[in-house]
């Protein structure tokens, strides 16, 4: 079964003036769900600038997947600071220039991983840094949350065969799924959320599936506040 859920949330950019109205949406979901692929496919339809997460540069990542307990804090702090600088530089510059922006991640995703990977003093220290940085980040108008069960995600991860993901455990993916669901299906986030179950969708090979997803995103963006006419092709 394919289903869509659109949750409305109060949205405030924290900025004033017509010059600050923009269209910025992010694709989110657990590892292997197809965030980057979908973002790339949507780019031309929305005449958008892409902001893609740079994660291969994390020097702790491959070691983290082999020994999570030992390398969790280093990996998490590196990602936090990297995501912060990427978002501040790449997204804000494009929005200030009046560009439509599509990203394959949100800044808030970092904390979803941290609550799984860290504990005790390390988690407390992480939150103190994360909360200070989050105040300077512009949230998206819409988050498209792609969902899939653990079996589907493990299959997709195996198919793309990234070397540093080969030792990834299904239990870890299950925990991430729960963390994402708790956040995006709950009430603690600040953006509008469109939830799309993707287990039976193949938007890469089946154009009809891609068009269904695109249509739902267009519909959700039209309902989001402060939106101008959408330049959709």
Contacts of 92 (CB under 8 A, 6+ apart): 138
**Kindly report the CA angle at 226 between 89 and 50, in degrees rounded to 5?**
35
Write down the H helix ranges in 97-205. 109-117, 120-134, 150-160, 170-184
- Collapsing DSSP states into helix, strand and coil, what is residue 154? helix
Look at phi and psi of residue 186 and say left if phi exceeds 0, alpha if psi is from -120 to 50, else beta: beta
For residues 214 and 45, is the Cβ–Cβ distance under 8 A?
Answer: yes
For residues 119 and 126, is the Cβ–Cβ distance under 8 A?
Answer: no
Q: Please tell me which residue in 47, 96, 104, 199 is annotated as part of the active site.
A: 104
- Collapsing DSSP states into helix, strand and coil, what is residue 7? strand
CA distances from 60 to 55, 73, 77, 79, 174 (A): 10, 10, 10, 10, 22
Query: Known catalytic residue: 104?
Result: yes
Measure the CA–CA gap between 226 and 124, rounded to whole angstroms.
Answer: 36
Residues designated catalytic? 104
């Amino acid at each position: 079964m394919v289903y869509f859920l659109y949750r409305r949330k109060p949205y405030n950019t924290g900025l004033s003036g017509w010059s600050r109205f923009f269209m910025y949406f992010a694709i989110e979901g657990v590892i292997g769900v197809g965030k980057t692929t979908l973002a790339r496919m949507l780019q031309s339809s929305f005449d958008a600038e892409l902001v893609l997460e740079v994660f291969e540069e994390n020097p702790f990542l491959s070691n983290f997947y082999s020994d999570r307990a030992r390398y969790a804090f280093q990996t998490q702090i590196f990602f936090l600071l990297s995501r912060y600088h990427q978002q501040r530089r790449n997204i804000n510059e494009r929005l200030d220039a009046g560009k439509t922006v599509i990203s394959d991640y949100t800044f808030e995703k970092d904390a979803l991983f941290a609550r799984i990977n860290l504990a005790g003093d390390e988690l407390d220290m992480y939150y103190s840094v994360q909360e200070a940085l989050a105040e300077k980040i512009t949230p998206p108008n819409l988050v498209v949350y792609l969902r899939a069960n653990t079996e589907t995600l493990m299959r997709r991860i195996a198919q793309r065969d990234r070397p540093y993901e080969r030792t990834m455990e299904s239990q870890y993916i299950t925990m991430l799924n729960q963390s994402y669901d708790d956040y995006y299906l709950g009430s603690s986030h600040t953006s509008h959320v469109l939830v799309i179950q993707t287990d039976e969708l193949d938007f890469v090979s089946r154009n009809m599936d891609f068009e269904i997803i695109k249509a739902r995103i267009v519909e959700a963006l039209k309902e989001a506040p402060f939106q101008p006419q959408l330049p959709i092709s």
